[in-house]
Structure 1
Amino acid sequence: MDAFTTLVSRTVVLRERNIDTDQIIPARFLTTTERQGLGRHAFSDWRTRSDGTPDLDFPFNRPENADARILVAGRNFGCGSSREHAPWALTDLGLRAVISSEIADIFRSNALKNGLLPIVLDQDVVDELIDRPGIELKIDVARRVIVLPGGNTVEFPLDAFAQTCLLQGVDQLGYLLGQDDAIQRFEESRRAA
């Protein structure tokens, strides 16, 4: 996973509330453990019409959103079943951050383990972002702030361990493996004692 220090990107907006993991990546696409390629199935049931053609009104089908890396979504994003495929699909789609006023705990945990930053902000801030799709934001993980157009900043919560993993570009196992020397020293001192 790539280190996540700062991100400057336009936003793509999904106004809907209660976007669950089956809407993010429908169950019929959970037949693989490969992460690559899942992005084409993200929001599949919303992105395509019943005849299989793309719904050009859906935000991720619009050309102006092709390079957007920040999703701003309605309240209670990522609810539903626990499936790591959801953040896999979103990162393969090109996203690095999801902003909402509420993000489901299991989705949040899965997202952080896969380099997708879930950001919870006050509802009034999220409403303002939803009303201004396509604006450019800067996310600074080290400072835990979002820089809004005009330079104002909004702080977001992020626990220290998740922040460290994002900044180093490692998941929990990668972090532990990076501590191998310290673990070996501890084990040797323990045997000696």
Structure 2
Amino acid sequence: MRIISGKYKGRRISPPKGLPVRPTTDMSKESLFNILNNRFDFEGLKVLDIFAGTGNLSYEFGSRGATSITAVDADLGCIKFIKQTAAEFDFNIAAVKNDVYKFLKSHKSAYDIIVADPPYNSSQKEFEDVVSLVFENDLLHEDGMMIIEHSKHTTLDHMMNFSFAKKYGGSTFSFFEFEKDDSGIDDEGDDGEE
């Protein structure tokens, strides 16, 4: 696992064996951040990384200058590793051990970017609940974006505020954002109704 851009570009990170994770591949990560680069200035961004696992995506945001990153995972080993790595790189990452669904229900802060990488074997309803909880609890800023990584067997394009999806190998990133008339996004199949 390596950081692909920013201050720590090329630095390798070696998580301990035995963590219950499936890190996002470098190729998928590079594609994701190419999209985000076109939309955001990372300096000063407030980011929420849920189902954070090894913290792979959090470190990428940190390397690119995001100033406030919250990484949430239910596994204590993952949280310990994220804390250790954040200290090593001097990233401002708050690592929170919590059930993600409970966290989303009780959390009150809003973010510029929310990334979610639930286990691929999560149920369709569990994926849908992530989307619903984020928007029902106002966790995303109006001009923000949420990205969920999932397998090609899960579809989220019917969910509220779905914007577009990108496929990379066996993985798909579904992007969610509030509708904007001036966004320049091609909303194919969108009937224009809120």
Say whether the fold is shared (TM-score over 0.5). Answer: no
Structure with higher RCO (Cα < 8 A, 6+ apart): 1
Higher strand share: 2
Higher helix share: 1
Q: TM-score, normalised by structure 2?
A: 0.31
Q: TM-score, normalised by structure 1?
A: 0.31
Larger radius of gyration: 1
